[in-house]
Amino acid sequence: MVIYLEDKHFWTIFATKIFKTIMNGDQTERLPQTDECREISEGGILESASTFAYRVLKEIEALAGTTACKSVQLVRLKKWAQEQGCWFNNLNQFGDFFDRGSENEVYLSPDGTEIIKLNDFRYSDDNLTPFFERIKAHNKYFPDCAYRMLGFAENRDSHICAVLVQPFIAEARLATEQEIHDEFVRLGFHAEDNGGYYTNDQHDIFDAVDGNVLIDNEGRLYFIDTIIFKSGTGGYDTYHSLSPRAGK
């Protein structure tokens, strides 16, 4: 989800939704947990889906000599998710719809403790490898707001999406540009493109702006929404060709 500067009432609105959830707590439904899906591997749904998508990629590459297989991967992943019991037909179980960003439909979970994102793979150009690499990299660098993958679903636009969950970060404010910069330096990154993105020469991280980074009362930063590419894989061009924020 992309939160622009004019959307700084975001957390006030969320707090109102949480209050309503608490007041109607006896009517909430618990989100299904990963282990409630059929057992598919020790690595969980994220690792299993990543492996399956990569296998489809290699099949297409061997047969057709191309890595442009995103649409095929999505169709195959939907069938795979249905077989594994991690395909969701009812969007209502994700809670209250809140917003639509450049790549995510965003929901507040029924109990008000989690953010559910239906990610439509916008920033995976011709195959899904960059998406899975990005989620794993995010969880490595930002474990305090790591993604958990529940499975797959179609969003309101009938696009096949990954269903991702993050903790809702309460009692936090938007981080400043300087605070974000200092945290990246602490993590071993440096700014490129006049601060347009940060890199450690392994991964390039885009969209880490004040609307997508929170800081709590103890000074911990939470990078809730970033775009990550492996360095040297054309991520800069992909981001700038697809992001509505790029160039602003």
Categorize the per-residue pLDDT at 5 as very low, low, confident or very high, splitting at 50, 70 and 90.
Answer: very low
Categorize the per-residue pLDDT at 40 as very low, low, confident or very high, splitting at 50, 70 and 90.
Answer: low
From residue 171, give the alpha-carbon distance in Å to each of 12, 49, 129, 134. 10, 34, 35, 27
From residue 130, give the alpha-carbon distance in Å to each of 29, 54, 65, 80. 33, 11, 19, 20
Based on the number of CB atoms within 10 Å of its own CB, is 27 exposed (0-12), middle (13-18) or buried (19 or more)?
A: exposed
Categorize the per-residue pLDDT at 23 as very low, low, confident or very high, splitting at 50, 70 and 90.
Answer: very low
For the chain, the structural domain boundaries read: 5-167, 172-242
**pLDDT tens per residue, range 136-190:** 999 999 999 999 999 999 999 999 999 999 999 888 999 999 999 999 999 999 9
Say how far apart CA 138 and CA 225 lie, in whole Å.
Answer: 9
pLDDT of 200 reads: 98
Say whether pLDDT at 46 is over 70. Answer: yes
By the 8 A CB rule, do 133 and 230 touch?
yes
The alpha carbon of 95 is separated from its chain's Cα centroid by a whole number of angstroms, namely: 17
Strands (E), the chain: 87-88, 96-100, 104-108, 114-119, 148-154, 160-167, 172-174, 190-192, 197-199, 203-206, 213-216, 221-223, 227-230
Say how far apart CA 85 and CA 224 lie, in whole Å.
Answer: 28
Categorize the per-residue pLDDT at 18 as very low, low, confident or very high, splitting at 50, 70 and 90.
Answer: very low
**pLDDT tens per residue, range 63-97:** 999 999 999 999 999 999 999 999 999 999 999 99
pLDDT of 170 reads: 85
**pTM exceeds 0.95 for this model:** no
Nearest Cα neighbor of 95 from 172, 3, 18 is 18
Say how far apart CA 81 and CA 153 lie, in whole Å.
Answer: 9
Categorize the per-residue pLDDT at 101 as very low, low, confident or very high, splitting at 50, 70 and 90.
Answer: confident
In angstroms, the first-to-last Cα distance of the chain is: 17
| Amino acid residing at 129 | T
